[in-house]
Amino acid sequence: MFAVSRMKALFPLQISLPVAPAFPNAAAFFSAAPKSTLFFNFPAVIQFPASPSLRPIMGSSGPASSRVQNRNFWPAGAAGDSTASYPSGEIHVIVGPMFAGKTTSLLRRIQSESENGRSVAVVKSDKDTRYGLDSIVTHDGLKLPCWSLPKLSMFRQSLGVDAYNQLDVIGIDEAQFFGDLYDFCREAADQDGKTVIVAGLDGDYMRRSFGAVLDIIPLADSVTKLTARCELCGKRAFFTLRKTDETMVELIAGADVYMPVCRQHYVSGQAVVEATRAVVEESSEKVQIG
């Protein structure tokens, strides 16, 4: 009881959190923005496939209406408050193997933010040219315009400083291809007050950390781990198996090269791939000697 009384004494009886700034109406903002600015409105109805099962492993984003948009827990002017207000950014990370619905989940969240009147933009790596450079496309065909850049540090300049300052939400797809992911997300959320939603592979075909996706987990408000279906048995798939003998880490391809598998079939499948690679290498050596 004494400890509780001391804790209560540390805080004023009434704390008035500063009101979060009102976000501009999406339709009015988009209509006033230059046509070259890649903010976008969603159509009235987008037909999404059935929602994949989401399994948050750290934190939870919660419904939009229950999120705390301003994290300044000190009332303005209170002791310990060095500034009048703080940025209210957020970072949400979506990870999983290939074919788990990461891009679909990202687009659902972007759509929800847009419908709530927030200005949004999406960026992907220019390394991914499978469906063109001006859009992100899910494996089931949902398409959305985006910025395609080699580095996230180029995003502010490409968008324009004024447009960037008015932006509320940034979506990042195929995040494993951005080497500056950590610095960009930290600055966008901590300093600029942006909500950043990141989707990417947490592991490569060897089940090793892929790019900087796992590096931003300590920065994240929430992390969602998605699973696919094992193509060999139908169980939950946590891993991506490469079906060919290429050994480069970054090999951008689709179902012709990769498939989602469970642990059992990853281990057995990887053994088959490695045995095949050994046979091919041995055959190549014999041909060279001959």
Domains of the chain, residue spans:
23-45+53-62+83-226, 227-290
Could you please state the CATH topology (level 3) that the domain comprising 227-290 is classified under. Wheat Germ Agglutinin (Isolectin 2); domain 1 (3.30.60)
H-type helices in the chain, by residue range?
2-9, 26-32, 102-115, 155-159, 161-166, 181-186, 263-289
In 88-194, beta strands by DSSP E: 90-95, 120-125, 135-137, 143-145, 147-149, 169-173
pLDDT band at 78 (very low <50, low <70, confident <90, very high): very low
- At 199-249, the pLDDT tens digits run 999 999 999 999 999 999 999 999 999 999 999 999 999 999 998 888 888
- At 111-169, the pLDDT tens digits run 899 999 999 999 999 887 766 677 887 766 677 888 999 999 999 999 999 999 999 99
Q: What is the DSSP letter of 209?
A: B
pLDDT of residue 49: 42
| Positions marked active-site | 174
pLDDT of residue 254: 83
Task: Just give the CATH number of 23-45+53-62+83-226.
Answer: 3.40.50.300
